[in-house]
Amino acid sequence: MIWEISLLIISIGFVILIAFLVPTVVQLRRTAKRVEVISDSLNHHLPAILTNIDEITTNLTSILTSARRQVLILEEAAQDIKGMVEDIVHLEKDFKRRIEDPFVETLTTLAAIARAVRAFLGAFKEKS
């Protein structure tokens, strides 16, 4: 009798275990089907996505190469502009040295002559 009661308890426990496992197994089957659908979708769309990524990579490489070339051109232009500015500064200094200094000296001399003439005329008027 104990043997039969034990077997009955084990059977009831097994039925309860199966009752709890059935929804889990059903959910596992649904999940497996969803994974299969997602896998099929990925297999269908992934080649196009990879092709787009390849195109993007190619375009990006082309853009970066072009940008490098443009930077080199701008660098050369900046060097040319720097050289021109240095030439202008040198020309301005040379102009100042050659034109402004003699011009200032001439004006100083003319001013001295004018003062001398005024002094001479002032002295000449006082004697007369």
Predicted local distance difference test score (pLDDT) of residue 105: 85
Predicted local distance difference test score (pLDDT) of residue 63: 97
With 0-12 / 13-18 / 19 or more C-beta atoms within 10 angstroms meaning exposed / middle / buried, residue 1 is exposed
pLDDT 10s digits, 44-102: 999 999 999 999 999 999 999 999 999 999 999 999 999 999 999 998 888 878 887 78
Distance of CA 57 to the CA centre of its chain: 18
pLDDT top residue among 85 and 125: 85
What percent of the chain has pLDDT above 90? Answer: 49
- The pTM of this model reads 0.46
**Range 54-77 burial, b when 16+ CB lie within 10 A, else e:** eeeeeeeeeeeeeeeeeeeeeeee
Predicted local distance difference test score (pLDDT) of residue 87: 92
What is the average per-residue pLDDT within 28-49?
92
